[in-house]
Amino acid sequence: MTPPPLLLDARGVVRRFAADAGDSTVLGGIDLEIAEGDYVALTGPSGSGKTTLLSCLSGLDHPSSGTIRLAGEDLSLLDDRRLAHLRRTTVGFVFQRTDLLDELLVLDNILLPAHGRRGRVPADVRAHTMRLMERLDIAHLAGRRPHELSGGQRQRVGICRALVNRPRILFADEPTGALHSESVHEVLSVFDELNAAGTTLVVVTHDPAVARRARTRCHLVDGRLAPSPELTTAAAAD
């Protein structure tokens, strides 16, 4: 059987940050292949580089060296306009700290990535978004301001916003960290359904229950991929 095509291919990804005390190397040369349709859990201790890696893989940040091919495109060769287009059409990103705009209502925050050329949101996108909001139990919050929401509600708004454009690959950075168990269950079943329909998922998590749902596990230690610990205990946590 032919293996599924690669959606993401990272080679030798290094990320350094300049600091007063000298450069620090946060990612020390990551090689990672993600096939279309995979469900990847990324675990590792706090500070091991998970968020930094996700930012590089999704084109939000640029590695100091190495190459990342996403959906057939070498990200380093794209100018800002083409990178923004690729990100808008292909990538969804759930941020670890949900960055909602307080001057916009919750619904407008969610629909922000969906605005077309003339500033209109297509009717089918609006309908799909409303279904997703019902599903994640945030439909009743559509007319509220983000600062009026709880941490868990904000997190679910962030998940909804990442999904409005039906991304081919969803990067989610601790998407269930602020949720109580019922909401975790709902978010995980939304992820399962997306994956069953072909969406590729890359989920950073400290929660072994979340990591267990994935098909592929990656574990980062000090900016390098390391063997994944067993998930029978709290091994995926710090």
Ligand X SMILES: Nc1ncnc2c1ncn2[C@@H]1O[C@H](COP(=O)(O)OP(=O)(O)OP(=O)(O)O)[C@@H](O)[C@H]1O
Residue ranges binding Mg ion (CB under 5 A): 50-51, 96
The 8-class DSSP code of residue 229 comes to P
Q: Which of 13, 37, 39, 52 binds ligand X (CB under 6 A)?
A: 52
Other Cβ atoms closer than 10 A to 206: 18
Question: Considering beta carbons, is residue 50 or 161 the nearer one to ligand X?
Answer: 50
Q: How far apart are CA 28 and CA 49, in angstroms?
A: 10
Question: Considering beta carbons, is residue 26 or 132 the nearer one to ligand X?
Answer: 26
Does position 48 bind ligand X by CB under 6 A?
Answer: yes
Q: How far apart are CA 215 and CA 39, in angstroms?
A: 5
Interaction partner, residue 26 (Mg ion, ligand X, none; CB < 5-8 Å by kind)? ligand X
Does position 175 bind ligand X by CB under 6 A?
Answer: no
At its nearest, how many Å lie between ligand X and the CB of residue 100? 19
At its nearest, how many Å lie between ligand X and the CB of residue 154? 17
Q: Which of 10, 37, 49, 170 binds ligand X (CB under 6 A)?
A: 49
- Alpha-carbon distance values, 157 to 91, 135, 151, 163 (Å): 17, 11, 10, 10
Q: How far apart are CA 61 and CA 54, in angstroms?
A: 9
Which pair of structure tokens corresponds to residue 165?
Answer: 């454009």
Q: How far apart are CA 111 and CA 104, in angstroms?
A: 10
At its nearest, how many Å lie between ligand X and the CB of residue 56? 10
DSSP helix/strand/coil, 183 = helix
- Alpha-carbon distance values, 225 to 32, 53, 67, 138 (Å): 9, 11, 16, 36
At its nearest, how many Å lie between Mg ion and the CB of residue 52? 8
Does position 46 bind ligand X by CB under 6 A?
Answer: yes
Give the per-residue contact string, 13-42, with ligand X (x = CB under 6 A; - = no). ----x--------x----------------
**Nearest-CB residue for Mg ion:** 51
At its nearest, how many Å lie between ligand X and the CB of residue 192? 24
Report whether 171 contacts 113 (CB < 8 A): no
The 8-class DSSP code of residue 94 comes to E
At its nearest, how many Å lie between ligand X and the CB of residue 149? 21
Does position 205 bind ligand X by CB under 6 A?
Answer: no
Size of the site for ligand X (CB under 6 A): 11
Question: Considering beta carbons, is residue 8 or 26 the nearer one to Mg ion?
Answer: 26
Query: To which H or E segment does residue 159 belong?
Result: helix 151-163
Other Cβ atoms closer than 10 A to 40: 21
Question: Considering beta carbons, is residue 2 or 46 the nearer one to ligand X?
Answer: 46
Residues interacting with ligand X, by CB under 6 A? 17, 26, 44, 46-52, 96
